[in-house]
A and B are shown apart, each in its own frame.
Chain A
Amino acid sequence: DIQMTQSPSSLSASVGDRVTITCRASHSIASYLNWYQQKPGKAPKLLIYAASSLQSGVPSRFSGSGSGTDFTLTISSLLPEDFATYYCQQSYSNPRTFGQGTKVEIK
């Protein structure tokens, strides 16, 4: 199985901050990397697919980059509705695997 490791596990940030979350795969996954946002009590929501493609309807303050084993999710200017947990997920091979999540909290 391909292991996905996110860092940090949690972070505190203020509205307006630029936030970067990293995700590392245990093997090269080319650009088969997706990012999801999950709010408490809700299902995850797709933000980014294929490492850098913005899902329809997702604000442009979200962006993704990377390929191979190292990836990043960036929120350019944090808004109150962005406080949530973020997961990366590889779709390079089965079983599909997720990172452990990064919780973005209000400072």
Chain B
Amino acid sequence: QLQLQESGPGLVKPSETLSLTCTVSGASISSYTYYWDWIRQPPGKGLEWIGGIYYSGSTYDNPSLKSRVTISVDTSKNQFSLRLTSVTAADTAVYYCVTDYWSGHPYFDYWGQGTLVTVSS
């Protein structure tokens, strides 16, 4: 069974960089059928897609984040990572890593449990 687990600091200071890692188990991150994505959810609010990466390193992201996002993959560790620079309080959210099944009609089928990141001094 495919499983995803987010890890990283739960508290980040304003203007600094948020860094999270997602460890994939039960499947190879080099799978042909998945992109590996990040989605976030501010407390009490809706879901926002951040972006994703293919095992080859090809990425796509949400223009609303104004080029603050970097997503990378480490196939040797079966992990992918998110960096979000110049964070503000508006970046406080639960961050989920998810599988993006992209063949045919894409959908997000496996989700990590989520990790709350608070931006505060």
Contacts and interface: CB of A to CB of B under 8 A. Distances in A.
A96 interface: yes
Given A34-B108, A91-B107, A101 B60 contact: no
Query: Size class of A's contact patch?
Result: 20 to 34
Interface stretch (B17-25, B26-34, B72-80, B111-119): B111-119
Interface of B: 46-49, 60-64, 96, 104-109, 111-114
Chain A interface helix/strand/loop/mixed:
loop
Given A49-B105, A50-B104, A55-B109, A95 B46 contact: no
B111 A95 contact: no
A55 B106 CA distance: 13
Given A89-B47, A91-B105, 17 more contacts: A36-B47, A43-B111, A43-B112, A43-B114, A46-B108, A46-B109, A49-B105, A50-B107, A53-B105, A87-B47, A91-B106, A91-B107, A94-B62, A95-B64, A97-B49, A98-B47, A101-B46
Contact of B96 (A34, A43, A96, A101): A43
A44 B113 contact: no
Interface string A72-107: 000000000000000101010011111111000000
A52 B92 CA distance: 34
Contacts of B96: 43-44
